Amino acid sequence: MNQTRLREFILLGFGNLHSFSILLFIYILIIFLFTVIGNLLIIILVSINVHLQTPMYYFLCHLSSCDIVICTNIVPSLLGAIVRVGKKITFFECMTQFYFYSGTIVTECYLLSVMSYDRYLAICNPLRYSGIMDMKYQIYLSVWPWLVGFTVNISAVVIIANFDFCHDNIIDHFYCDVLPLQKLSCSDTTVIELEAILLGLPIFIFPSSFIIVTYVYIFRNIMKIPSTTGKNKAFSTCSSHLMVVGTFYGALTVKYMILSNGASMLMNKIVSLLHTIFTPLFNPIIYSLRNQDIKATLKKFWPIIGQKFFVY
């Protein structure tokens, strides 16, 4: 079979839902707007309120930035595929999209572990917390996940970019991901599969294991708190982060471990939709509805924010 260097791909999206394309477009567009606005709002509220400029909210801003990057990278392709019943994307755009998607996912894995470490220090070592978690240390803990995330995936992008695609150029998905691209390739994909296994330890297993260990210590210290009020307050500072960790890692596990072998592309696309669109929306909802500081800041500064948006 002739090996061809393709110049463009066609993203099918949800091509089998033609009769619901308008409703699906409107629904996803609304979710996209709420996701971007919600995460931007968290960043704005933290930046304008001095009382929210603590390590926990500082890392939350980086998590919101991750969610914005994921949404703005994936959703436009999906909306284009819904409107045109298949969206053309150049080879370079496809590789760029895959690079930013995989880089952001790795970054979020490490950011969630950094946030668990922050909660560990605050609850298990409160007397030394402010001395350890100074601004210099916060910047270090927030920068290295981005550096690692957008460095460790370069090799995967280079390997996939050098695949020979001898089948058609139709990607049965709504964004460029490793599994659909592997199916189109006629090259030996053993290298990328082996790399995925090797990188699974530092990218997925280590951060998730670190989060589990830190929360074991956190819960042990919480149970030692004598007052019920103190226990509830400590639990409330961790519950939002635990819910975000559960949804993020749950979707990631289903997508790349459970559905990676023999699952239908429809199921893969549904889980991907939850992972790339609904999870980023879930984060600001959790932190805004369950966090009294965020809600109080929103009530206080909303007239000012709304006036600025209205003027511009």
Mean per-residue pLDDT of the chain: 84
Residue 127 inside a domain? The answer is yes
- What's the rounded Cα separation, in Å, for the pair 158 and 226? 55
Residue 264 inside a domain? The answer is yes
Task: Give the pLDDT band (50/70/90) at residue 1.
Answer: very low
Judge whether residue 140 has pLDDT over 70: yes
Residue 169 inside a domain? The answer is yes
Residues above pLDDT 90, as percent of the chain: 35
Q: What per-residue confidence (pLDDT) applies to 63? A: 94
Tally the domains of the chain. Answer: 1
- What's the rounded Cα separation, in Å, for the pair 184 and 245? 33
Residue 2 inside a domain? The answer is no
Question: What range does the domain containing 62 cover?
Answer: 8-311
Residue 3 inside a domain? The answer is no
Residue 156 inside a domain? The answer is yes
- What end-to-end distance do the CA atoms of the chain give, in Å? 57
Q: What per-residue confidence (pLDDT) applies to 2? A: 45
Residue 1 inside a domain? The answer is no
Judge whether residue 145 has pLDDT over 90: yes
Residues above pLDDT 70, as percent of the chain: 87
pLDDT tens, residue by residue, 173-189: 889 988 888 888 888 88
Interaxial angle between packed helices 91-124 and 55-84, expressed in degrees from 0 to 180 and rounded to the nearest 10: 150
Q: Where are the alpha helices (DSSP H) in the chain?
A: 21-48, 55-84, 91-124, 126-132, 135-152, 154-161, 178-184, 190-200, 206-223, 228-253, 265-273, 279-289, 292-311
Q: What per-residue confidence (pLDDT) applies to 136? A: 93
**What CATH number does residue 132 fall under?**
1.20.1070.10
pLDDT tens, residue by residue, 6-37: 778 888 888 666 677 888 899 999 999 999 99
pLDDT tens, residue by residue, 124-135: 998 899 899 999
Q: Which residue has the tokens 């150029």?
A: 169
pLDDT tens, residue by residue, 260-292: 655 567 788 888 888 888 889 888 888 765 666
Judge whether residue 53 has pLDDT over 80: yes
Judge whether residue 62 has pLDDT over 80: yes
Q: Are strands 87-90 and 8-11 parallel, antiparallel or unpaired?
A: antiparallel
Residue 155 inside a domain? The answer is yes
